[in-house]
Structure 1
Amino acid sequence: MAGSDRSTARTDLVRLGLSDSSAAVALLDEIAELSSLERTQLTADLGRAADPDGALRSLARIARRSPEVVRDVLSDDAARPAVWALLGASEGFADFFFRHPDELLILVGARGALPAPELMRSELLAAVGDVDGFAAVGDESGWVALRIAYRRIVARIAAFDLLAPDSEAVLAPVAAALADAAGAALEASLSVARTRVSRPGVGGLFPREQVAATRLAIIGMGKTGARELNYVSDVDVIFVCGADDAVAAEVGESRIIDIATRLAAQTMQGISGVEIEPPLWEVDANLRPEGKQGALVRTLESHLSYYSRWAKSWEFQALLKARALAGDLDLGEEYVAAVQPKIWTSAARENFVDSVQRMRERVTDNIPPAEVASQIKLGPGGIRDIEFTVQLLQLVHGLTDDRIRQRGTLDALDALVIEGYIGRAEAAVFARDYRVLRVLEHRMQLRYLRRTHLMPERDEDRRVLARASGLADSGAGIWALWEGVKREVRDIHVRLFYRPLLSAVASLPEGERTLSTAQAHDRLAAIGFQDPAGALRHIAALTTGLSRKATIQRHLMPVMIRWFADGVDPDYGLLAFRRISERLGDTPWFLRLLRDSSAAAESLTRVLSGSRYIGELMEWIPESAAWLDDEDLLRPRSGRALEEEARAIRTRHDTIDEAMRSVRTLRRRELLRTAMAGVLGVLTIEELAHALTTITEVTIQATLRAVRREVVPPEDDALDFSVIAMGRFGGRELGFGSDADVLYVYRANGVDPERAHSLSLKLVAGLRQHSEDQRVPLDLDADLRPEGRNGPLVRSIDSYAEYYQRWSLSWEAQALLRARGVAGSVKLISRFMELADRLRYPEHADPQGLREIKRIKARVENERLPQGADPQRHLKLGPGGLSDVEWLVQLLQLQHAHAIPGLRTTSTIEALEVAGEAGMIPGPAVTRLREAWRLASRLRSANTLLSGQTSDVLPSDRRKLDGIGRLLEYAPRSATEVEEDWMGASRRARREFEKLFYG
């Protein structure tokens, strides 16, 4: 070819989409010479190839092996575009035609139509020489012939698909044809299997007449059953066997099952086994009863017995698409008909939605992190999200409406629209997204004839995908399309599943009134609401009317219902949200917050559905919702800021009742702030404990100032009075619901001793009276005072000194280890701490006193546990609980704090760390003890937040355990994991405690 001609040719080739025109010219010259065709014949329709360079290379390989075939197919006007489309979209088919060049001739005279199911079945049975269900060839050559014939059929399907002007429009018939081809392949493989198992020395030896009498039905599941199969996908099946009564009586049921099992195994081997011709796809029988551990083949009666007694909800969801696919179709239809009632009543089972969601989460959790963004099937916004949504809608409403009981996803979507369960606009978008995702999946699998669901990473591969699908003009365009569809699919579940709930109760446009009240009730029950009728009333109250608030709530409610449903207690969360909304009315900032900040709205549903403690406080302080839009507003306020606000209260109010009302409001507000921050993960357990301690200190200080102003007259103002924090309060380790352990001390300072004592008792009474709060109780517990409950409620500093010098017991010195002044006279606090230091940090610990502490600890474990409580579940007094860690640390402090200043701290964890650094406790033991103490503290607070009630016992109720786990940021449905984590941590801590405390 002359130079100018070559230049023109290269230009023409570039226009056709080739990137390496020089190599293309050389390949075209070679193919033209081999096939005796003109260049114009060769390049006509080359532009149809998604990868023209790859198509040319593949055709050259085939031409070198069989030039006559290439000549014949490229000379045919119908075959030529199909050849270029196939070779340009599929290197897998290029390899197939290279192995079997003559198979290209199937495209000659192609009619541009899909092969009919009957034709495919007859072709594949003819390929194995089937006669009366037995193949003519029972060795591996039968399987090879089957695989070649199957790929020949799929090539025709792919040619039709690739040449269609609208790839989305032909998706359904193409997927149905692929499913029919798979069924035909299984039928042909079963024919070979019958011959093999009735021949000596191959698959086994059974008399031919017994094999013929054995009924084996192959049930298609998943996409195969729904006639929406991919090009290369696992084909999910279930095997059902049987025999005529006379045959069964003659040979026995076990013999029939043995024959059927061998037939099933050989059928699978014929499709998936390694042979000269590559496998077609994986035959997956793991959806059978008991999965991989269960029998490969069962009788119909055995299947039904399993489904009646042991099957889980997700197994019925899997059966939704079941279809008799191959083998004995009559037996298969019996099976499908028998399981239908079980499928469509499964939504009424307890925890139905939980089990379905658990299955979906397992699939998502198993995606490698690097693949999540590219997973077109299983990832967020992928095909599985669409299928899950449609199937859940079917199962919820199919219980009473048989018109939506469809196998196929698109057919089911159409039925749901026709019957009014979803709106037409939403369904149309959803169906379009589904078709786009499936077309992308098809083209990716065609590329190498491999099972894949990952969007390509390389720009060149994306370009080929764009051209092959016809959905975009470039690689960047196809990726942008994929990202847009993902976002839409993520949101579509809300629009299809939750928005129609409003139609039962709200003033929506006529076209959106899709659910009756009864239908909405069923849907709410299915997603986890225990009181659907109550939920409908709340939704109606929030969304009915023409006000701006009702309009905004109507827009928000579909999303918020989903968030509430994902929470621990959807019913309470929705109720609390209604009450808060009613309290705030048309407050502009609240409506703006809900409308403009999805993060704040979602956080609101999370705290309300997860914590009654928060919900009850928010009803009193609804303006706290504003904090959710700014994490800084959730951070605890400093002690100084709270102290300044508390002091200002004193100047604003003349009476103690008014002042204390404001102090209680301050405390409730800050407790709520801390609780919200804790639930949303803003605070660590240490930060939370410090915040709660600070709030309690400021409350006591403000209360004491108010009471003193009321109780102590000016002439007695010299009286000193102080409050000493003890226990977890003294250690700055408070949790939600913790008591505030305290001691009360006074010094007369010239005031008559009897009057000083009388005034001090009035101060204590006033403190206890005015700190009371029915909403969030503050219990000032003085039981750690000298002589315990039998001792005076308040003592002078001199009385404390005399008592501790003459009569104090070992436990009282132990209790003082966490003593810390928090309110009242600073000088008096200093004197008390000096007194306490002499007792709690002795130069030489009394051995008898230490033995007494160990004896008391054992007695506490035996006597103080609530009657009937499981010791292992008691977070404070049970083995490995808070008490074990604290008593061990306190024992070491009594022994060594005099010599090691670091042990002179009221903090349990700080002292534990110092003991570890000093070598008193081995490093691994420190870790185990710290983990148990922190986990017990977190569980106690979470229990209070969840229920709004204080308890030291880890609940055994699975729902409550799961709620506690959610507050501690476990995954949903982690009740067992929470329980096991505590049992493991406490068991390990107890072992260390016993070695170190009693050893």
Structure 2
Amino acid sequence: MSAPWTPERHPSLTGRLARLGFTDAGHAERLLAEAAGEQITVVDPMLDALGGAADPDLALAGLLRLLAGLDGPARAALQADEGARQRLPAVLGVSSALGEHLARHPGDWVVLSGDGAVQRPRPQQLRDSLLRAVGADPGAAEPCARDAGRPTLEALRAVYRRHLLHLAGRDLTGAADVGEVAAELADLAAAALEAGLAVARAEVPEAELCRLAVIGMGKCGGRELNYVSDVDVIFVAEPRPGQDETAALRAATRLASALMRACSASTPEGSLWEVDAALRPEGKSGPLVRTLASHRAYYERWAKAWEFQALLKARPVAGDLELGEDYMAAIGPLVWKAAAGEGFVEDVQAMRRRVESHLNKRTDEAERQLKLGPGGLRDVEFAVQLLQLVHGRADETLRSPNTLRALSCLSEGGYVGRDDAAGLASAYRFLRNVEHLLQLHRLRRTHTVPEDPHDLRRLGRALGLRTDPVGEFTTLWRRHARGVRTIHEKLFYRPLLRAVARLPQEEARLTPEAARARLTALGFNDPAGALRHIEALSSGVSRRAAIQRTLLPVMLGWFADAPDPDAGLLGFRQVSDALGTTPWYLRLLRDEVTVAERMARVLASSRYATDLLLRAPEAVAILGSDAELAPRPFEALLSEALAAVRRREDGDRAAPAEGAGPRQGAGRDTPAEDAVAAVRGLRRRELFRIGVSDLLGLADVRTVGEALTDITTVTIEAALQAAVNKIEIERRGPLPTRIAVVAMGRFGGHELGYGSDADVMFVHDPLPGADERDAQTAAHAVAEELRRLLARPAPDPPLQIDPNLRPEGRQGPLVRTLASYAAYYARWSAPWESQALLRADPIIGDAELGHRFRRLIDPIRWPRDGVDEAALREIRRIKARMESERLPRGVERRLHTKLGPGGLSDVEWVVQLLQLQHAHEIAGLRTTRTLAALDAAVEAGLLDDGDGEVLSSAWQLATRIRGTMMLVRGRASDLLPTDHHKERSAVTRVLGYPGTGDLLEDYRRHARRARAVVERVFYGVTD
């Protein structure tokens, strides 16, 4: 045995201990003097390592307690292990709690020795270790503890802390970074939950009735857990095959409760942590365990935005992992579906403000909060999650539940500047390191930076700060917090606030007195009514009302800049009321000035667009970008529409196999009706997109006509497919014929207006060997079903299918074979039918049949010999008769944009006559589009440039006026408004004219010039 350690034998010890960093060198010297000689043999060569610890005094005391519990061979082994001699002081100098654990379990020091001390355990190793601790078989499908008594729980805690000791040894010596530490802590928590569930199975005899999955949430789900933290979970259960659901849920609830007790119960070895299930549906008021279907039903119907935000970090961690993955497959997509509404942003901001407000009432704590305070961890996490939820719907690379990984992806994708991302990542790592050091000290849940200088010194030294640990730590912490707060504010910046700030203070507050005065000054016709709308929108203490109070002062000015401020404010209230308690669009308006301003202009200009917006409020999101307002490509629209039909078709065809037959019954739509309803929803959204582009001057006449034709074509194509599917199911086999739909009139000319019917003809061609009568019956059934599906009442502008341009009109069959069309045109075709075929375009249905139909009608509409004198006289006679008979009685002919002199009909008949006369030899005239044919006629010299420009300008102006009247009034009209001041003024302003008289004068001038060309070219009148 070595001689006792005495001051006489080590006269310079006190000074050495002081130089090494011991704060109470005298006390340390006394501890050494009291230690047994065998302990001193180990301590002496470790003094330098002890002096390098975060708290040398704490490290020395812990080491001496450990050595007191070791026998001679163990002390010798420790003395010989250089790695352990470095890791032990690092751990003991930070964590008194782990020092106490080693005092109780001195043999656990070995986890800090040898090569294993620096190796990271796999999640499966952690799981197996903790299951063995409770006497469960790790290889069993559902491990069960031998018993559920206190010794089992104590063993679980002891082994859990041994793993914490192993991890802390790597953490505090730099062998693991903060991300790896947080991930391993989450894996260790998952293993503990699995062990707790094994204990629960031993306690609950009826456990075999159910399957139970544990979904990790929060930091556990994101694999970024702290050393000491509540572990957030959600429980999902399913009955085993043949078991009663009620009994299974009762058993699952008992299992979940027992699991929670197994982790949180206090024992002589302490507890692990609280298992917190408050993030479940309905929170603590809801059932602890739900089935998968119950979870999905809740999230689809009732969940708030913050609940979807929480699901961002959901991950199966224990129990039935297959059931857990089913949960993720069912619930995961809802996160991104909900995020598309962007309502999350307001909830995140409101939640952050509430926390800050609460903290600000305790200023001292707010200043020292690592987690919730300004510039704290939550500022980083909330900023990252906000960007994830906004951009992650379209970019799946952003969907990581881990903060640092998500931040890296946001930087790589360009959503966050590199410097900002690097600043946030650096601050986050620093703050998490400090949080870990705080919690390791006593293994207690804390996020508050201490005020005691001794504790601050320990933190600073643990972070490697030596010159002035307290001052350097404080400076570094404050710098990171300021940086985080600056970037956080930038990411949450709202451009609309600048506009609010420019308002006078009394107007920005929107008091009733200020609002009434401002409404009068802005030109609202009914200030009292407007004030009622404002009060309805902004009164109360709800979040919606608060946002409205921010928005309305600015939007009132934008309403006043548009034709009808009163209608704009009314529309805004209607949209807000329609959205109920989910004001997701208000966040968009507040953060995007362009969206808010455009919405105000649209609502105060267009009844048509307002009605569409009331029925599809999510369309507000497209207002922020010119690119979003551009008409979508035809192929993309068609793909989306047909996908909607296929989804319903697959479900419908699966139904008979279940014995239920097609989904039809009282009060329920058929799959075909469901499909067409979805497609009509798509059409509603696209009509809004086109209408807004038109109103904002982003689309010209040709673009609008093509876009309206495209969405009409897509709608009918999808409805045709749905009709075919339905008839084939009813017939129990494929159709015996092929079907095509021929677009006619303005539809065929790709010149549809907002209120146009879809003129069509139906053609079919029996398959080889098919019975012609059966084929005709099937084709007729499809055509009737198509018309029925599109005629069903729906909350969108109607799409009327008009087949009256078919041979023999209403007296003829609705559907003809290709051969029947050929026979009819060969024998009975009149000049007007050849003229009608000029706009025939078989663009829907069977493409090959459509091509054959074109080949059939081309010689008829583009006759080789042109138009003889008799046919010319007949065409002119029909035109003159139409002018005299089809104009409504009592209207001013010169103001009728369609049938009046110089109107649409005049220009179109000129173009069509030129096509009948010359299209056979001039390829450019072989088009269904009026303006394209007009351009070709000019190029071919059939019209001089001046005449072509006159006709083109008149046609485009008339088309613009008709479209604008539909947009403004919400109903179609061919007559220029003259007697209703508000509508006349609105149409005038939307078209960009200074006054009503300017519009009338311009139209009359264009029409007069166009009529002169018509007289010469069409009627052959010369001066």
**Secondary structure, aligned partner of 1:342:** helix
State whether residues 209 and 247 of structure 2, in contact with CA within 8 Å, keep that contact through their aligned partners in structure 1: no
1:48 is aligned to 2:44: no
Match of 1:354 among 338, 342, 346: 346
State whether residues 355 and 372 of structure 2, in contact with CA within 8 Å, keep that contact through their aligned partners in structure 1: yes
Match of 2:31 among 27, 30, 36: 27
State whether residues 232 and 445 of structure 1, in contact with CA within 8 Å, keep that contact through their aligned partners in structure 2: yes
Compute the displacement of 1:302 (Å): 0.9
1:321 is aligned to 2:313: yes
Compute the displacement of 1:107 (Å): 2.6
Q: Which amino acid aligns with 2:480?
A: V
**Secondary structure, aligned partner of 2:35:** helix
Compute the displacement of 1:65 (Å): 4.8
CA distance in 1, matches of 2:463, 2:454: 14
1:16 is aligned to 2:20: yes
CA distance in 2, matches of 1:74, 1:240: 51
Matching residue of 1:343: 335
**Secondary structure, aligned partner of 1:304:** helix
1:363 is aligned to 2:355: yes
CA distance in 2, matches of 1:122, 1:940: 57
CA distance in 1, matches of 2:554, 2:394: 40
CA offsets per residue over residues 445-480 of structure 1, 9 Å max, x none?
111111111111112111100111236751111111
Matching residue of 1:212: 208
State whether residues 500 and 554 of structure 2, in contact with CA within 8 Å, keep that contact through their aligned partners in structure 1: no
Matching residue of 1:139: 149
State whether residues 28 and 42 of structure 1, in contact with CA within 8 Å, keep that contact through their aligned partners in structure 2: no
Matching residue of 2:920: none
**Secondary structure, aligned partner of 1:212:** helix
**Residue 325 to residue 379, structure 1, CA distance change in 2 (3 Å):** same
Match of 2:400 among 406, 415, 431: 406
CA distance in 1, matches of 2:481, 2:470: 17
CA offsets per residue over residues 580-601 of structure 1, 9 Å max, x none?
xxxxxxxxxxxxxxxxxxxxxx
**Residue 777 to residue 118, structure 1, CA distance change in 2 (3 Å):** closer
**Secondary structure, aligned partner of 2:421:** helix
Matching residue of 1:117: 123
Matching residue of 1:294: 286
1:159 is aligned to 2:169: yes
CA offsets per residue over residues 898-919 of structure 1, 9 Å max, x none?
xxxxxxxxxxxxxxxxxxxxxx
Q: Which amino acid aligns with 2:415?
A: Y
Instruction: Answer with 445-454 or 32-41: which moved more.
Output: 32-41
Instruction: Answer with 417-426 or 228-237: which moved more.
Output: 417-426
**Residue 940 to residue 374, structure 1, CA distance change in 2 (3 Å):** closer
| 1:616-765 pair list within 5 angstroms | 675-676=504-505, 679=508, 737=516
Matching residue of 1:243: 239
Match of 2:113 among 108, 132, 150: 108
Matching residue of 2:62: 58
State whether residues 381 and 487 of structure 1, in contact with CA within 8 Å, keep that contact through their aligned partners in structure 2: yes
CA distance in 2, matches of 1:940, 1:483: 35
**Residue 605 to residue 486, structure 1, CA distance change in 2 (3 Å):** farther
State whether residues 607 and 680 of structure 1, in contact with CA within 8 Å, keep that contact through their aligned partners in structure 2: no
CA offsets per residue over residues 803-856 of structure 1, 9 Å max, x none?
xxxxxxxxxxxxxxxxxxxxxxxxxxxxxxxxxxxxxxxxxxxxxxxxxxxxxx
Q: Which amino acid aligns with 2:236?
A: V
Matching residue of 2:104: 99
1:257 is aligned to 2:257: no
**Secondary structure, aligned partner of 1:78:** helix
**Residue 142 to residue 607, structure 1, CA distance change in 2 (3 Å):** same
State whether residues 239 and 249 of structure 2, in contact with CA within 8 Å, keep that contact through their aligned partners in structure 1: no
Matching residue of 1:180: 187
Q: Which amino acid aligns with 2:285?
A: Q
**Residue 374 to residue 67, structure 1, CA distance change in 2 (3 Å):** farther
CA offsets per residue over residues 726-769 of structure 1, 9 Å max, x none?
xxxxxxxx867569xxxxxxxxxxxxxxxxxxxxxxxxxxxxxx
Match of 2:78 among 70, 73, 76: 73
Matching residue of 1:464: 458
1:269 is aligned to 2:275: no
Match of 1:392 among 386, 394, 403: 386
Number of corresponding residues: 550
**Residue 947 to residue 62, structure 1, CA distance change in 2 (3 Å):** same
Compute the displacement of 1:55 (Å): 1.6
CA distance in 2, matches of 1:308, 1:450: 38
Compute the displacement of 1:361 (Å): 2.7
**Residue 487 to residue 76, structure 1, CA distance change in 2 (3 Å):** same
| 1:455-854 pair list within 5 angstroms | 455-470=449-464, 473=467, 474-493=469-488, 497=491, 562-565=493-496, 567=497, 605-608=499-502, 614=503, 675-676=504-505, 679=508, 737=516, 775=521
CA distance in 1, matches of 2:432, 2:257: 31
CA offsets per residue over residues 629-686 of structure 1, 9 Å max, x none?
xxxxxxxxxxxxxxxxxxxxxxxxxxxxxxxxxxxxxxxxxxxxxx3378599xxx9x
Unaligned runs of 5+ in 2: 540-547, 582-589, 592-1023
**Residue 3 to residue 27, structure 1, CA distance change in 2 (3 Å):** closer
State whether residues 237 and 284 of structure 1, in contact with CA within 8 Å, keep that contact through their aligned partners in structure 2: yes
State whether residues 217 and 327 of structure 1, in contact with CA within 8 Å, keep that contact through their aligned partners in structure 2: yes
State whether residues 263 and 272 of structure 2, in contact with CA within 8 Å, keep that contact through their aligned partners in structure 1: yes
**Residue 242 to residue 736, structure 1, CA distance change in 2 (3 Å):** closer
State whether residues 41 and 75 of structure 1, in contact with CA within 8 Å, keep that contact through their aligned partners in structure 2: no
CA distance in 2, matches of 1:124, 1:387: 31
Matching residue of 1:170: 177
Compute the displacement of 1:871 (Å): 14
Matching residue of 2:678: none
**Residue 869 to residue 197, structure 1, CA distance change in 2 (3 Å):** same
**Secondary structure, aligned partner of 2:236:** strand
Q: Which amino acid aligns with 2:406?
A: A
Unaligned runs of 5+ in 1: 199-205, 499-561, 568-603, 609-613, 615-674, 690-733, 740-772, 780-864, 879-938, 963-970, 973-999
State whether residues 209 and 240 of structure 2, in contact with CA within 8 Å, keep that contact through their aligned partners in structure 1: yes
Q: Which amino acid aligns with 2:275?
A: V
CA distance in 1, matches of 2:321, 2:152: 23
**Secondary structure, aligned partner of 1:326:** strand
Compute the displacement of 1:98 (Å): 2.5
**Secondary structure, aligned partner of 1:324:** strand
**Residue 346 to residue 15, structure 1, CA distance change in 2 (3 Å):** same
Compute the displacement of 1:276 (Å): 2.3
CA distance in 1, matches of 2:203, 2:356: 41
**Residue 308 to residue 736, structure 1, CA distance change in 2 (3 Å):** closer
CA distance in 2, matches of 1:942, 1:352: 18
Matching residue of 2:299: 307
Matching residue of 1:126: 132
1:193 is aligned to 2:200: yes
Compute the displacement of 1:157 (Å): 0.3
Q: Which amino acid aligns with 2:122?
A: A
CA distance in 2, matches of 1:390, 1:98: 42
Matching residue of 2:219: 223
State whether residues 215 and 235 of structure 2, in contact with CA within 8 Å, keep that contact through their aligned partners in structure 1: yes
State whether residues 524 and 530 of structure 2, in contact with CA within 8 Å, keep that contact through their aligned partners in structure 1: no
**Secondary structure, aligned partner of 1:163:** coil
**Residue 150 to residue 348, structure 1, CA distance change in 2 (3 Å):** same
**Secondary structure, aligned partner of 1:325:** strand
Compute the displacement of 1:130 (Å): 0.5
State whether residues 222 and 402 of structure 2, in contact with CA within 8 Å, keep that contact through their aligned partners in structure 1: yes
CA distance in 2, matches of 1:778, 1:419: 46
CA offsets per residue over residues 86-114 of structure 1, 9 Å max, x none?
11101111222223333233333343222
CA distance in 1, matches of 2:343, 2:356: 20
